[in-house]
Amino acid sequence: MDRLTQLPDDLLIKILSFVPTKGVVATSILSKRWLPLWTLVPSLVFEDFSEEEDEEINEIHVRSLSQFVSGTLLLHKATVLERFHLNSASECSAWEIGLWVKIAVDRFVRDLKISFCYDHFLVNLPSRLFRCETLETLQLRMVILSGVPCRLSFPSLTKLRLLSVKYSDDESFSRLVSNCPILEDLVVETCHGDNVATFTVNLPSLQSLSVRNTVRESPPDDHLFVIHSQSLKQLNIVDYFGELKLIGNLPKLVEANLQSMSYHTNVLESFTFVRRLYVCLDGEAQYPRGTVLFQLVRLELCSCIDSWTDMLVSLLQHSPKLQALKLVLKHWVLVDRKVRWMQPRRVPECLLLHLKTFEWSDYEGTKVEKEVAIYILKNAKLLVSATIYPFSVSLVRKHQMFKELEIATRSLRACELTMG
Amino acid sequence: MTKEMFTLKSSDGFLFVVDEAVVHQSVTLSPMVQDCAGREYPINNVTGKILNLVVEYCKNHVVVDGGDSSSSSSSGDALKKWDDEFITQMDLSTVYDLIMAANYLIIKGLFDLACQRVADEIAACKDHEEIRATLGIVSDYTAEEEAEVLKENEWAFD
């Protein structure tokens, strides 16, 4: 029984707005009723599968992406185009893409995405895009921006993702970013040769910022991030080679994920109000003295650097209200690295008075790790949940590691030790 | 202070007692919080079977205030997993009913979830014939008409 066709037109169109466009066009042949529906779907999502090797995955064989997009836009009737996504359009020319974007802007587009996969491609974005009043989400990936106009404004833009974009200079980036008065969510990923040395983010409305800099550039081009956004609630930084300057405090910061291989610990000075923190810092990082994390409730620390135990002690000593602690190992370490455990002179306040949850992922059962685990388990008087995830290829070894810890802390623990 | 409870009545007479947090997830039902505490509120175009699923979804999506001790991303992942399992185990016929119910009750999350399920089925099909087979759509084209429509679509497909 054809129940789907019993749904009214507008519901069918809504369902089709979740389907990539080549699937939507295919529905035009289903039955007479379906013929005109695809032209009214306010969302166009184009993907290029011509690089797929496996024929089976390449279901509906689109003639050529360029022809398909042009044909679709010519026949498409919806007055409002809410979403226009162009993925992997490497075979399309820069001016063609510019033309399509012009059409999308004229049709009041809200969500625009231009994304390439393997290489950077030039796109000639029309100037009207940079004044688009309806645009709410913009994503550009591996795009070479030929130019960003001097006067631009994105009055409705709330989400901006600039992934591996190449600009003409520093100002292009800051012009692009600072003319978004209500921007809430910004993601920036750098790439080699992007022509920007300093990324300045000065946005009072910004609530969430993600920065990813895993590219080594030689000075003076090495990437510097200057962040000047006091309303940030969420900050994610993955930065292996650059530098970060946080101007001012971040009083609204709720969660911070800091994964950095450069000397960035002064960044923690701005985090005094943070509630949830994930940290993986450089080997030379030292905890900034006097920085108390008054509201820190949840801490996740990566144990990949040699001095991780010192960082752990510093963090525990400066997080008076910590309730949840999780230790993880997210990066490769040398088997015979020199780690040591120096028991703090005074038991950190949070262990005695607040810590409720303790988790250790990738526990390897080394001498130092055992010492740390025993110290925490024996001093966390209010612990409610303690879970160890032993890391080993052998199941027997896993149980062995767990058992050792379990027995060593049996009479000292405030709660059960569970194996994850 | 005890929570206010509301009674929803399906088209076929089944009663569901839910709290304010559930009711507020439906834009259509939200205003009834003012007037209908204690009385039965009839939902005339949703059957008991479907209303049961709607209530189950809403109960799982009640926003917990604060939630500091667990990280925001892990509880978001768990909810997404629940949503995936919830919608995947249903047969398509039930999903269509859910789409109509979520549309009438204006519950955006549930509506999008159900639409996405149908959309995924369409997107996974090789060609229009497979779409017809999967969705149970009956073609009203004659053989000639269909050949003509296919030819007209040559601009798009090989």
Structure confidence by residue, pLDDT tens digits, A47-64:
875 544 445 444 556 668
Per-residue pLDDT, averaged over B92-120, amounts to 93
Cα dihedral: A221, A223, A228, A232 (round 10): 160
Interface test with A, best of B45, B90, B91, B96 (most A CBs within 10 A): B96
Burial class (CB in 10 A: 0-12, 13-18, 19+), B91: exposed
Q: List the single residue in B71, B122, B155 with the smallest CB-CB distance to A298.
A: B71
Tokens of A263: 């000397």
Of all residues in chain A, what percent carry a pLDDT higher than 90?
53
Query: Of B97, B91, B107, B99, which Cα lies nearest the Cα of B48?
Result: B97
- The residue written with tokens 């259509």 in the block is B28
- Partner residue facing A61 (CB), from B118, B132, B157: B157
The per-residue pLDDT for A243 is 79
**Are B71 and A276 inside 8 Å of each other by CB?**
yes
CA pair distance A325, A277, nearest whole angstrom: 10
Name the DSSP class of A254: -
- Please state the length of chain B: 158
CA–chain centroid gap for B35, Å, is 26
Packed helices B108-123 and A9-16: angle between N→C axes, nearest 10 degrees = 70
What's A62's DSSP letter?
Answer: B
Distances (CA, A) of A90 to A71, A87, A117, A143, A189: 18, 9, 8, 10, 20
Strands A234-239 and A208-213, by their bridges, are parallel
Cβ contacts of B133 on chain A, cutoff 8 Å = none
Q: Is the pLDDT of residue A42 over 80?
A: yes
Structure tokens at A43: 């969302």
Q: What is the mean pLDDT of residues A348-374?
A: 92
Minimal C-alpha gap between B132 and chain A (Å): 6
Predicted confidence (pLDDT) at residue A265 exceeds the cutoff of 80: no
Q: What confidence category does residue B158 fall into, taking pLDDT thresholds of 50, 70 and 90? A: low
CA atoms within 13 A on the CB side of A274: 30
- Which residues lie closer than 8 Å to B4 by C-beta, 6 or more apart? B19, B20, B33, B37
Residue of A31, A62, A298 lying closest to B156 (CB–CB): A62
Q: Which residue has the higher pLDDT, A49 or B120?
A: B120
Distance, in Å, from the CA atom of A324 to the CA atom of A305, rounded to the nearest integer, reads 21
- A177-199 average pLDDT score: 92
The C-alpha atoms of residue A259 and residue A210 are separated, in whole angstroms, by 11
The better pLDDT of the pair A296, A56 is held by A296
Contact A120, A166 (CB under 8 A): yes
Task: Average the pLDDT over A3-9 and give the result.
Answer: 84
The Cα of B39 is separated from the nearest Cα of chain A by a number of Å equal to 31
Torsion of CA A117, A119, A122, A126, to 10 degrees: 10
Measured distance CA(A141)–CA(A189) in Å, rounded: 9
Count other Cβ atoms within 10 Å, centred on residue B66.
6
Beta strands in chain B (DSSP E): 5-9, 15-19, 40-42
φ, ψ for residue A330, nearest 5 deg: -100, -5
**How many angstroms separate the CA atoms of B52 and A294, rounded?**
45
Give pLDDT, residue A239. 85
Contact predicate B30/B18, CB 8 Å: no
Q: Note the maximum CA span of chain A.
A: 80
A34·B132 Cβ contact <8 A? no
Tokens 């300045």 belong to which residue? Answer: A200
Which chain B residue shows the shortest CA-CA distance from A26?
B128
Of the candidates A7, A68, A276, the beta carbon closest to that of B96 is on A7
How many Cβ atoms are within 10 Å of B34's Cβ, its own excluded? 7
- Which of A54-63, A220-229, B37-46, B74-83 bottoms out in mean pLDDT, i.e. has the lowest? A54-63
Q: Is the pLDDT of residue B61 over 80?
A: yes
Residues of A in contact with B146 (CB under 8 A): 29
State pTM to two decimals: 0.86
Residues of chain A with Cβ-Cβ distance to B120 below 8 Å are: 18
Contact B156 A63 (CB under 8 A): yes
Phi, psi of A125 (to 5 degrees): -75, 130
- At residue B69, the pLDDT reads 40
Chain B residues touching chain A at CB-CB below 8 Å:
68-72, 92-93, 96, 99-100, 103, 111-112, 115-116, 118-120, 122-128, 131-132, 135-141, 146, 149-150, 153-158
The per-residue b/e assignment along A249-282, b for 16 or more CB within 10 angstroms, e otherwise, is ebeebbbbbbbbbbebbebbebbbebbbbbbbbb
Q: Can you tell me whether residue A243 is helix, strand or coil?
A: strand
Residue A362 has pLDDT above 70, yes or no: yes
Nearest by Cα to A202 from A173, A174, A162, A233 = A174
The span from the CA of A222 to the CA of A211, in Å, is: 14
DSSP label at A325? E
Is cis: bond before A220, omega within 30 of 0?
Answer: yes
Q: A278: nearest CA in chain B? A: B71
What is the distance in angstroms between the Cα of B73 and the nearest Cα belonging to chain A? Answer: 10
The DSSP bridge partners found for residue A255 are A234, A276
Structure confidence at residue A379 (pLDDT): 93
pLDDT for residue A91: 80
